A and B are shown apart, each in its own frame.
Chain A
Amino acid sequence: MCVALPGRVVELNGTKATVDFSGNTVEAEAGLVKVKIGDRVLVHAGCIIQTMNDAEADELEDLFREIEDIQI
């Protein structure tokens, strides 16, 4: 229900961030989470709703590790 996409903060002015998505930039509200330039962030409807934890990159290997105890 909630389209959100990871982008990168390229500019920061108070709680207004400019976030880049492969060459598309939007002004996003950064009041809900602490961000700095260079952070990967999740943006929903013009608002940063979370910073992305780079240690948890959602790579396929991480995904499989999470479910390695499961058999069907």
Chain B
Amino acid sequence: MSLNGTVSMIGMIVFYGAVMFFLLRKVVKSDNEF
């Protein structure tokens, strides 16, 4: 796999993983209604 592809893959996975983690953490911590 090319360096470009590897870096991009790691970047995308980290970005989407971090955003989903942040959002789901907010869901778990929230006392709000649904």
Indicate, yes or no, whether A interacts with B.
Answer: no
